[in-house]
Structure formats: structure tokens, C-alpha cells
Homo-oligomer: A and B are copies of this chain.
Amino acid sequence: MRFGTIEEGAGTTVVVQASPEDAAVMPYPDLDAMLAAPEAQWRSAATTALASGEVRPVASLSWLPPVRRPGKVLCVALNNSANPDRIMRGPSTPAMFVKPSSSLVGHGRPIVVKEAYGRVHPEPELAVVIGRGGTDIAVGDALAHVFGYTIINDLTSPTMRDADTFHYRAIHPDPESPDGIRYVDSWVSYPARYKGADTFGPLGPWVSTRDEIPDPHALRITCTHDGALVTDDNTANLRFSVAEVISFASEYLTLEPGDVIAMGTALQRSARGGAVQNVDLTRLGGVIEVSIEGIGTLSNPVERR
């Protein structure tokens, strides 16, 4: 099944896909609420909604992020094997940051970029929605914690990233003396602005439930700008798998139902050349689309302010 969250009158509702053209209304305001209910309950509600025959055209829907206020949007950085030679030094485990829920927007909504942001580029990614929470989840059990798969455009401003990077002398304890300190030349960067600005997290439109995606590592993923192909990649190229990331993350951060994990940018360039970094939305505007096989297409126009 495929679920999404839409505006409905003055409120919001979950919809379930009835056909490529039609969706039926579910009795939950958003996936956050649906995932707080037992699976048997929402599966039964979906069966009832689909059997009712009361559907509305998908083309008329006003989309919201399917999960509206996840506890966390955990994003894996540099998780592709396209350019391993680019990393001179880095961890041998998934490196992650958190995007705030206030950065999420639905399919069709504008990505707002301001002159002050400097360069802003898209990053097409597979996103996992957690159905069952947990801590210290084993790799072998990890996929059972997945509710489904969706699409995220992990917008990034390299200008703000550079601005919010410090080269500084970090305070380290002096191993020679219990109260002594020494300075260590360090670099540290902080992602709240460059990854978390408003509208920097288009998500959706549909979440395909786990059973619809037998292998999350065999999906073509493409990104287009104004219809021109920018990247053409496959989730087979992810360095750390969905199960490995869930397991590793849950050793440190308890996963909760509705949490979203962005699996890292599919950045293999299309035959045309170019890279996501060439698509400066602040300068170019336009429409960005990310498509993943078996899940759908996430399309957002850019609004320059």
C-alpha cells in the first residue's frame, strides 16, 4: 500500500492510493497519528477505505509531508560509493546529522531560497519511515522496523556550510595532569542552517509500505532540473545499507515510530554531465524532481525571494 498526508478542508488527513489516479481517505490526520496506532488497526482502516469506493483524484490533492512532525529526521552523510576517493579521512561507520521537522514540505510546495543563502543545491535521496521504534536493533531485525519508503530532497547550502565551519583550537584534557588542558587544532561544522532551513526538506508524496519494496537496494533514483536529467543513480550504490544504518543509529539514538532516515545522496551524474552542485537553485530557480522506482516522483518549484 501507499500512504500520503494531504490538506483536507481546515484540517489534514491520510490518504491511501486506490489506483494511480485515485486515493481514498483514511481516518487519521497524518502518518504520525496512524503510526501511533497498531498495524492491524491501520491495515483494517485501509481495507475499509479502499472498499468504500469513495475516492478523489490524485491530481487534485494538496500534499503535506507524509509524516508532519517526526521526532527526528536523521540524515546519513556521504553515503555513496560513487566517489570514495574523495574522502581523505572519515569514519568507517555512518555519519549523521539531524534536520528539524520545521524544514519539511510536501510534494508540489515551493522550495523557498533567499539571496542570503548563497548557493543551494538539491540532493536526491531514498528516505525510510520507521514504523516500530527501538534501541540496539540487530542488523538482521532492522527491516522489520521499517514502515515504508519515501523520497526526500535533502536541500543543502554549501555557502552556509562554509560559513558555519570553524577552524579552532579545541580544548582537550592533558593526559599528564588531571586538571590540565591542551589545545588541538580542529575543524568543526554546524548544519542547522545549511541543512535545516525552512523548506530544505521536501518529502513524499507517497510512502510505499515495506512489502511493496522487496529490495530497497535495487531502485533507480533520478533527479531532474526543469526536465533535464542531473543525476541517474541506483540505491545499489549506497555505501551503508538501510539495515546497517538503522542498526548503527539505534545503538546511539532510540528510534521512534514516524522517525525519518534519509539514506544519503544518490549523486552519480547523468550522461549529460553536470552534478547536483551545478544546480544552484538560488541563481537558477526552476523545478526540481526526484524520482525513485516503485515509490514515485517528488516535484517542487523553487521560489526565489
Which residues of A, 166-180, contact B by the 8 Å Cβ criterion? 166-173, 178-180
Which residues of A, 89-107, contact B by the 8 Å Cβ criterion? 89-91, 93, 95-103
CB contact between A168 and one of B88, B173, B198 (< 8 Å): that residue: B88
Answer yes or no: A135 CB below 8 A from chain B CBs: yes
Question: Roughly how many angstroms separate A71 CA and B72 CA in the complex, as a whole number?
Answer: 9
Question: Roughly how many angstroms separate A252 CA and B193 CA in the complex, as a whole number?
Answer: 6
Q: Which residues of B contact A158 (CB under 8 A)?
A: 170, 172
Question: Roughly how many angstroms separate A116 CA and B93 CA in the complex, as a whole number?
Answer: 13
CB contact between A86 and one of B87, B168, B191, B249 (< 8 Å): that residue: B168
Q: Is the CB of B191 within 8 A of A191?
A: yes
Q: How far is the CB of A276 from chain B (nearest CB, A)?
A: 8
Known: A97-B191, A187-B189. A166 touches B278 (CB 8 A): no
Q: How far is the CB of A254 from chain B (nearest CB, A)?
A: 5
Number of copies of this kind of chain in the complex:
2
Q: Which residues of B contact A75 (CB under 8 A)?
A: 192
Q: Which residues of B contact A103 (CB under 8 A)?
A: 253
Answer yes or no: A74 CB below 8 A from chain B CBs: yes
Q: Is the CB of B190 within 8 A of A188?
A: no
Known: A161-B188, A189-B187, A277-B172. A88 touches B167 (CB 8 A): yes
Q: Is the CB of B278 within 8 A of A102?
A: no
Q: How far is the CB of A168 from chain B (nearest CB, A)?
A: 5
Q: Is the CB of A72 within 8 A of B87?
A: no
Q: Is the CB of A198 within 8 A of B254?
A: yes
Q: How far is the CB of A201 from chain B (nearest CB, A)?
A: 11
Q: Is the CB of A278 within 8 A of B168?
A: no
CB contact between A98 and one of B98, B170, B187, B189 (< 8 Å): that residue: B98
In the complex, residue of chain B having the shortest beta-carbon distance to the beta carbon of A272 = B179
Q: Which residues of B contact A88 (CB under 8 A)?
A: 167-169
Known: A98-B100, A253-B193, A253-B198. A278 touches B181 (CB 8 A): yes
Question: Roughly how many angstroms separate A267 CA and B198 CA in the complex, as a whole number?
Answer: 31
Q: Could you list 27 A-B pairs, sorted by A, with CB under 8 Å? A: A71-B100, A72-B102, A78-B166, A83-B171, A86-B183, A87-B166, A87-B169, A88-B168, A90-B165, A90-B166, A93-B163, A95-B166, A96-B190, A98-B98, A98-B100, A116-B251, A119-B173, A158-B170, A158-B172, A179-B274, A179-B275, A180-B278, A181-B278, A187-B187, A192-B253, A193-B252, A197-B253
A interface with B by C-beta (< 8 Å):
69, 71-72, 74-75, 77-78, 83, 86-91, 93, 95-103, 116, 119, 135, 158, 161-173, 178-181, 183, 186-193, 196-198, 249, 251-254, 256, 267, 272-275, 277-278, 280
